[in-house]
Amino acid sequence: MGLFNSISAWNATRIEKHRASMEEKGLCPDCYGRGYSSFVPTEYHFSDIHDCPGCNGTGAYADWAAMNGQQM
């Protein structure tokens, strides 16, 4: 049980560190500030590029925080 708790705590810390880093830079944590997200599972399937659902395609941290209910 302690192993699962330590893995969970490590993952939560990693996610928070990423979010804080992106907040400092002013970029969306989901798309790294690009404004779009593309998912290509294999080299044979090329999907369309879609606006990032986290920031609505702007790439800004402020928009991501507003969409996700985060306080700045």
- Give the pLDDT score at 60: 94
Query: Is 44 a member of any domain?
Result: yes
Provide the 10 A C-beta neighbour count for residue 29: 22
CA-wise closest residue to 47 among 57, 38, 34: 38
Mean pLDDT value across residues 61-68: 90
pTM: 0.74
Q: Which residue has the tokens 């996700």?
A: 68
Cα distance between residue 60 and residue 70, in whole Å:
13
Residue 72, in any domain of the structure: no
pLDDT at 52: 86
13: containing domain:
1-67
- pLDDT tens, residue by residue, 7-45: 999 999 999 999 999 999 999 998 998 888 766 555 565
Angstrom distances, CA of residue 61 to CA of 8, 11, 37, 43, 67: 25, 21, 15, 31, 10
**Count of domains observed in the chain:** 1
